[in-house]
Copies of this chain bind each other. A is one copy, B any other.
Amino acid sequence: MLLAALRAGPASRAALASRTGLTRATVASLLDPLVRVGVLVEETAAPAGPGRPARPVGFGPRSPVAVGVSIEVDAVVAGASGLDGVSAGRRRVPRDHRALTAEAIYAGAAQVAADLAAELGRPVLGTGLALPALLSGTPDDTVVVRAPNLPALNGTRPTLSPAPAPTPRRTARSLTPGEPTRRSPGRVLVGNEATFGALAHLDVAPDLVYVSADVGIGGGLVVDGRVLRGTRGFAGEIGHVVVEPDGPACGCGGRGCVEQFAGRDALLATSGCADLAALRRALERGEPSAVEAVRRAGTALGVGLSSVVNVVDLPVVVLGGLFAELVPHLLPAVEAELATRCMGHPPERVVASRHGDAATVRGAAEAVLAEVLADPDRLLELP
């Protein structure tokens, strides 16, 4: 509770006592051990008036981070967040996972996460590992049920260790020469990419639909501040809501799913662009074929979201990943379908994610931070 209160910014012990309703003695007893180990630092403030100056306490610049790492179809993305939820660094490494074995995919992700942690030189609380897949089990004991776009992962147990030997990095200037750059990923929490993406938007609204496009389309429902997981953890597959029952065959086994009209491959095919860079240029130039392709994707997405909203009645839609950058061209068609098809109650807002394609790794890191904030004693046991 105390650490959660500090996420709003540094505060004096008195202010924290007032924010949390704890006594100043309790606040001190909880803060002081964290100041001693360097997780929190006392700022040297100018005397704030008569008497003893209030010295704000905040998260230290070398305080621990949580890492999120996302295995996308053609890239590994890693990002680190401090206890305050602020991004501490991020990297994206292009890699066509479709040509790799599961072992190579996981080892590569582990390396990217380890390199990022080494570069930051801050203790790692744990790592959230995001996959474009249906998963079963628990976040710390997971099996991949089905990864439609990366079938090599089907049936595997995701892991970030053991990883190959570390790559020494010139940029890791904070490290003593000779110190190994490989950092333990700490506790690893595995989750679906879009479920983590939804988690990154809890500050937008307590109830929302998150839908995000990369090669596939994923989604997550947030109800009352919590991600709706479904009985078997498979909820949120908005990419596989049916738009045209007899439409194109989908990797899921069905036909005419949202993904077949609004996923990246569909967008490139209908716009005639070779890749995303070409699509972006065509949209900037206002080329009618590109604009029309995105509009049609928006219509299909809007039809699918109407079905979703009619079933779960959530008032906010957040468009993430590729959808976020396409919002200027996508939104009118999405909103038109929602306005017509949502039985008397279209969502109040449809917004672009602020986090773009970083939402997944932010959410994956947040999942780790949420555990730590609920049990701050773990911060005292860091190496």
Contacts and interface: CB of A to CB of B under 8 A. Distances in A.
A90 interface: no
A231 B231 CA distance: 21
A18 interface: no
A343 B238 CA distance: 11
A145 B311 CA distance: 17
Interface string A7-39: 000000000000000000000000000000000
A313 interface: yes
Contacts of A242: 242-243, 303-304, 306-307, 341
Copies of this chain, how many?
A: 2
Interface string A214-252: 000001010100001111111111101111110000001
A237 B311 CA distance: 5
B231 A207 contact: yes
Contacts of A307: 240-242, 304, 307-308, 311
Interface residues of A, number: 48
Contact of A345 (B134, B254, B303): B134
Contact of A235 (B245, B313, B340): B313
B344 A313 contact: no
Contacts of A313: 229-237
Contacts of A342: 254
A323 B84 CA distance: 52
A134 B233 CA distance: 29
A253 B311 contact: no
Contact of A344 (B207, B231, B252, B314): B252
Given A230-B313, A237-B311, A312-B228, A303 B245 contact: yes
9 contacts: A232-B345, A233-B313, A234-B345, A236-B311, A237-B313, A242-B307, A253-B343, A253-B344, A254-B306
